[in-house]
């Protein structure tokens, strides 16, 4: 498995989601999930853009590895979608946390590529390029043959 495998990244992101289930959040999350409606695609785009800005700030100014910043931000988006919207995204129905993490990672990385790619390290560029390449490869496999 490649060091930058989407499956590995999602697994590492999900392995620490126990932190997100802290008792302080559990009660409000349960109440929100009971009456949850799907999060809009526009809101998902806004969350991914805000996350990418954060990733760029952390990578460029604080020299944090893009991979670490992306995972942290994907976990935050996953928490919001899971807790406030019961894992539901408009047009996609209810998703598992791993699906939300994977989608968030791709959306954040694409925006990092558009935003601060020229300012990040070579290792960070390699991570961004490999995530995008894996996404394209997976998407092309999912397309029906003509």
- Tell me the percentage of the chain whose pLDDT exceeds 90: 69
In sequence order, what DSSP letters do the residues of 15-51 get, joined into one string?
HTGGGGG-HHHHHHHHHHHHT--PBPHHHHHHHHHHH
Q: How does residue 2 score in pLDDT terms, banded at 50, 70 and 90?
A: very low
Query: Which run of H or of E encompasses 113?
Result: helix 97-115
Separation of alpha carbons 14 and 38, rounded Å: 21
Query: Which residue has better confidence, 91 or 21?
Result: 91
Q: What is the pTM of this model?
A: 0.79
What's the pLDDT score for residue 22?
A: 44
What's the pLDDT score for residue 9?
A: 57
Separation of alpha carbons 3 and 6, rounded Å: 9
The domain ranges of the chain are: 6-17+25-137
Give backbone dihedrals phi and psi of 76, rounded to 5 degrees, phi first.
-65, -45
Q: How does residue 5 score in pLDDT terms, banded at 50, 70 and 90?
A: low
């Amino acid at each position: 498995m490649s060091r930058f495998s989407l499956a590995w990244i999602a697994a590492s992101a999900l392995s620490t989601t126990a932190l997100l289930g802290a008792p302080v959040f559990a009660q409000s999350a349960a109440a929100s999930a009971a009456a949850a409606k799907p999060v809009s695609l526009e809101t998902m785009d806004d969350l991914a853009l805000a996350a990418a800005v954060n990733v760029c700030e952390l990578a460029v100014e604080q020299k944090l590895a893009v991979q670490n910043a992306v995972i942290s931000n994907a976990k935050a988006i996953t928490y919001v979608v899971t807790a406030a919207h019961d894992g539901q995204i408009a047009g996609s129905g209810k998703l598992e946390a791993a699906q939300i993490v994977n989608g968030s990672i791709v959306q954040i990385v694409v925006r990092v590529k558009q935003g601060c790619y020229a300012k990040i390290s070579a290792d960070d560029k390699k991570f961004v390029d490999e995530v995008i390449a894996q996404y394209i490869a997976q998407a092309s496999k999912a397309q029906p043959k003509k």
